[in-house]
Every structure is written in C-alpha cells, then in structure tokens.
Amino acid sequence: MTDPRRGFVVENEWYWRISENAKTFDAAAALRDFLAPLARVSKDSIAITDLVATGNEVHCTIGEQPVAIAIDVGAHDRVAINHFVIEVNRVLAASKLAFAIVTPKRYELRGVLLSDAELAELAGTPELMIPSGRPSLDPRAVDQRDHGRLPNRSFAPRSSALNVPSRYGYHHTSRPNATRS
C-alpha cells in the first residue's frame, strides 16, 4: 500500500468529478491541479519546469525534453485525466518513473511519482485509480472492436419481444417469468 503521506493531495472535488463522469478537465486544471504539484514533489527525482497552459494544451519541460500534451476537453474527466497521465508517463518512462493518482483512503486522491516497479505492484489494485489498465481508457490501445461489438461479449442485446432470434442467438427481455430458449 502506498504511504498516505507520499506525493500531493489532489483537490477532493476531483474524486467526485471522476466518479460521476463530469466533463470539466481542461488545460488550466491539468496544470494547476496535477502538473504543478507534481513538479514540486518530483524536484529531487526529475525536473519538471516551464509550465504553461495554452488553449487545449499543456506545455512543459520534463528533464531535458520539451513536452506538449493535448487535453481531451469535452471527454469524461476519468478518460481525459487518464490520457493526460499516460502522456506524462510516456516522457517519464525514460527515467523509469511514472505518475499515478492513488486512493490511499476512501474519497481521497493523491498524486504520486512512482518507480516502474512500484506502479507494477499497484496495478490491478483498487488503490490505483489512474492510469487505468483498461484498454478502452488507454489512447495507445489497439481498437479491438469487431463491427461495433467487443470480443468475448457475454450477453446479447435486449429485444422488445420474448424469444426473438438475433445474430447472437435467442434472447429475452428482463421479465422475471421469461425463459431463454
């Protein structure tokens, strides 16, 4: 488990924005609430300098590399912040570091700078909120859709009538006395 005093506290409002699918994440918020605090806590590990938010982009220098990160304005906050963190991590990867948003306590978010090994240890635990391991939230993921259907789908779409044949086989509505043929 991550030390609850490690990193920086993320404003509590972000927990609810992420959980409730708000669409408020923009370049100013990325800079103010995530990148500037990360720069303060990472100064002993890697320099993050020249922070500027312009339009829908955040510009900075991480180590010696100038970086411009496009913000997914209008996307759900969970998705937009996940994309932002993944882009920051692409640059941090050369230093074997990663930025993550963790939940050490219920309803509390912290931004932390982790080693690759620490991030791998947290992967798949409820404590790690972002970056998500879900391919649908990773902009680098290959589109796995097959004509609009995800593979290994375990349910068929609902029909308005009972026992209606479809390309997925027979299925029924959610009426309690309905049975599958």
Phi–psi pair at 155, nearest 5 degrees? -140, 155
DSSP 63-84: TTEEEEEE--TTS-HHHHHHHH
19 and 59 housed in the same domain: yes
128 and 173 housed in the same domain: no
How many domains in the chain? 2
Q: What is the mean pLDDT of the chain?
A: 78
Query: Which domain, by its residues, includes 66?
Result: 8-137
H-helix or E-strand containing 28?
helix 27-29
Stated pTM of the model: 0.71
Residues in Cβ contact with 81 at an 8 Å cutoff, skipping those fewer than 6 apart? 14, 18, 25, 30, 34, 101, 130
116 and 69 housed in the same domain: yes
- Could you report the per-residue pLDDT of 101-122, keeping only the tens digit for each? 999 888 889 999 999 999 999 9
107 and 178 housed in the same domain: no
Distance CA 165, CA 155 (A): 14
51 and 109 housed in the same domain: yes
